[in-house]
Amino acid sequence: MALALSSKEIETYRENGYLLRERLFTEDEISNLRLSCEFVESQVKEAIKTDRAREYHLDQNVFLDVDGYTVQLEHNKHLDRLRVVEPVDNLDERFDRLVDDARLATPARQLVGVPNLALWTAKLNFKSHGVGSGFGWHQDSPYWMHDCAHVDLLPNVMVNFDDSKVENGCLRVIRGSHKGGILPGTADGSQLGGFYTNPSLIDENQEVAVEAVAGSVLFFDPHLVHGSGPNLSANSRRAIILTYQPADFEMLKRACVRNISL
C-alpha cells in the first residue's frame, strides 16, 4: 500500500471524519509492540507505588501523575489494572520510533496540510480483558482547546495492537460528527461531564463500530464524536493513539517539542 493517502482516501476522511487502513503493520511488528505494552505496564505499575506519584480522584475514578505522565487506573475497583497512560511515547524506545513511522506520519502530514509535524500527545489504552471499561461519547477537541490554539490540526492515529471487535470494546464513532466543530458537553453535575458530548447531539443512526485486525490503523478527526464499550471478553484490546500537530509546537502536558523526523 502506498504511504501517502490517495485523494479518494482524503475525501473519505474529510466526509466521515475517519479512515481505516487495514494491516499496516506485520504480525512480527505488532508482537514487538505488544512487548512494549507489557514493558510500559510493568514500569508504570512500579512507578505509581513510589512517593513520586500523586494520586487524585475524578468522578470516583483514580488518576496518578508520576514522572511527567498521567495514569488512569481501571474503573469499578479494578485498581490492579491500568486503563490509560499519557504521554507514553518516551516510556519505550519502540513507541518513540513508532511516532516517526512514515506509515503514520506521512498520512498525518497530509491531513494536517503542513510540510512538517510534531507530536501533540500519545496515549496507551489497555482495555484489559474482562474488566476494561468503556469510554462515553466524546470529542477530543474540548479537552485540548484550552492548551492549544490549532485544535483543528490534531489528527488522531490509532494503532491497534490486538484484534479489535465489538466484544472487546472496539472504537465506535459517529460518522460525520466532526463537521459540527466543538459540541456542547453534558450537564450532569459530574466532574468530567462537560467533556462528554451532549446526548441530544448524538445521531445514533450514524454510529459505526470500527472493528479492525491487529496492525490496522485508524485516522480520526479531533472533532469526531467517538467512544467505546467495555471489554468483558477474554482478549485485551490494547492500542496507542498518537496525535500529531504542525512542527515546532510543544506537546500537551510536556514542556518540550517532539518534532517528527520523516
Ligand X SMILES: O=C(O)CCC(=O)C(=O)O
Q: Which of 5, 48, 159, 171 binds ligand X (CB under 6 A)?
A: 171
Dmax over Cα atoms in the chain, in whole Å?
52
Residue 73 and residue 57 in contact, taking contact as beta carbons nearer than 8 Å: no
What is the Cα–Cα distance from 58 to 6, expressed in whole angstroms? 42
Find the shortest distance in angstroms from Cβ 48 to ligand X.
Answer: 19
Q: Does 241 bind ligand X (CB under 6 A)?
A: yes
Distances (CA, A) of 53 to 63, 71, 103, 121: 10, 10, 35, 20
Q: Which of 13, 69, 95, 135 binds ligand X (CB under 6 A)?
A: 135
Nearer to ligand X, 169 or 246 (CB): 169
Cell 485523494 -> residue: 7
Nearer to ligand X, 238 or 258 (CB): 238
Find the shortest distance in angstroms from Cβ 140 to ligand X.
Answer: 5
Q: Does 226 bind ligand X (CB under 6 A)?
A: yes
- For 92, the grid coordinates are 519505550
Q: Which of 90, 133, 197, 228 binds ligand X (CB under 6 A)?
A: 228
Q: Does 168 bind ligand X (CB under 6 A)?
A: no
Q: Does 169 bind ligand X (CB under 6 A)?
A: yes
Nearer to ligand X, 108 or 239 (CB): 239
Nearer to ligand X, 64 or 154 (CB): 154
Nearer to ligand X, 69 or 135 (CB): 135
Rg (CA), the chain: 17
For residue 122, give every residue at least 6 positions away whose Cβ sits within 8 Å of its Cβ, in sequence order, or none: 86, 87, 88, 89, 95, 99, 240, 241, 242, 243
Residue 198 and residue 183 in contact, taking contact as beta carbons nearer than 8 Å: yes
Q: Does 123 bind ligand X (CB under 6 A)?
A: yes
Residues that bind ligand X (CB under 6 A): 123, 125, 127, 135, 140, 169, 171, 226-228, 239, 241
